[in-house]
Amino acid sequence: MITVHHLDNSRSQRILWLLEELELPYDIKFYKRDPKTMMAPKSLRAIHPLGKAPVITDTDGNVTLAESGAIIEYLINKYGNGRLAPARDTPEYIRFIYWLHYAEGSAMPPLLLKLIFGMLPEKAPLPFRLFAFLIAKGTQAKFINPQVKLHMDYWERSLSDSAWFASNDFTAADIQMSFPLEAAAARADATDGRPHVKAFLSRIHDRPAYQRALHRGGHYAYASNDSKPAS
């Protein structure tokens, strides 16, 4: 049996969605963020030393696995039976692998920096808040925001070439890419002037498996672009 160790408003929502798309049975163990730090609870370290979500355990093979991309590859390879991935030895499969790893390796770092520098002034000691505000504002304007825009424009161009990221067929790469696009829509107005990004988000949110995952996983603020959830 597969168990998803699920943190609220986090990347682990993608794994629930993948399992719903594959129509696999699974259990969920729920974790809540610390209300002050917004970090995962220390109890997750009992499952994986880093204490991050997502983590899955699979009793079939005694597997404990972290990292969204690794989890997706494991589930697709073991249980997919050809679903949600292009055929190997095709150009689409190369694109599939690229987007599967690009999501966390390239897309998320500038979005995470935007979140951190956005929080910096309020987290700084009171005497240093103005100084922190000026540093954060300058760093975002000169470095972070241009990098975020570069990626968002790249998504728009890529989605103008095909309906989905890896090909004209929906794949697990689109599940993996959902979190950066949802985060950018919430924090960086990714859908403004980018009709293909906006259409992508609408399509994934309308998928029955996506909705089933929301029902099982509980509140997920990124399902609405009007919300500003935690990372």
Q: Do 102 and 201 fall within a single domain? A: yes
* 3-state helix, strand and coil shares in percent for the chain, rounded to the nearest 5: 60, 10, 30
Q: Does the residue 142 lie in any domain? A: yes
pLDDT of residue 227: 38
pLDDT of residue 7: 87
Q: Does the residue 13 lie in any domain? A: yes
Q: Do 71 and 97 fall within a single domain? A: no
* Residue 133 in tokens: 């505000």
Q: Is the pLDDT of residue 225 over 60?
A: no
Nearest to 161 by CA among 97, 110, 95, 111: 95
pLDDT of residue 12: 94
Q: Do 174 and 119 fall within a single domain? A: yes
Tally of structural domains, the chain:
2
pLDDT of residue 224: 65
Indicate the angle between helix axes 145-161 and 195-206, nearest 10 degrees: 70
Q: Do 64 and 107 fall within a single domain? A: no
Q: Does the residue 215 lie in any domain? A: no
Q: What is the CATH number of the domain that holds 69?
A: 3.40.30.10
Q: What is the mean pLDDT of residues 34-40?
A: 75
Query: What are the tens digits of pLDDT across the range 42-93?
Result: 888 889 999 889 999 999 879 999 999 999 999 999 999 999 999 999 999 9
Of the two residues 60 and 225, the one the predictor is more confident about is 60
Indicate the angle between helix axes 91-102 and 68-79, nearest 10 degrees: 140
What is the model's pTM?
A: 0.91
* Residue 220 Cα distances to 5, 15, 48, 110, 141, angstroms: 15, 13, 23, 22, 29
Domain that holds residue 26: 2-79
Query: What are the tens digits of pLDDT across the range 139-189?
Result: 999 999 999 999 999 999 999 999 899 999 999 999 999 999 999 999 999
Q: Do 119 and 140 fall within a single domain? A: yes
Q: What is the CATH number of the domain that holds 183?
A: 1.20.1050.10
Looking at 79, 101, 118, which one is the last position of a domain? 79
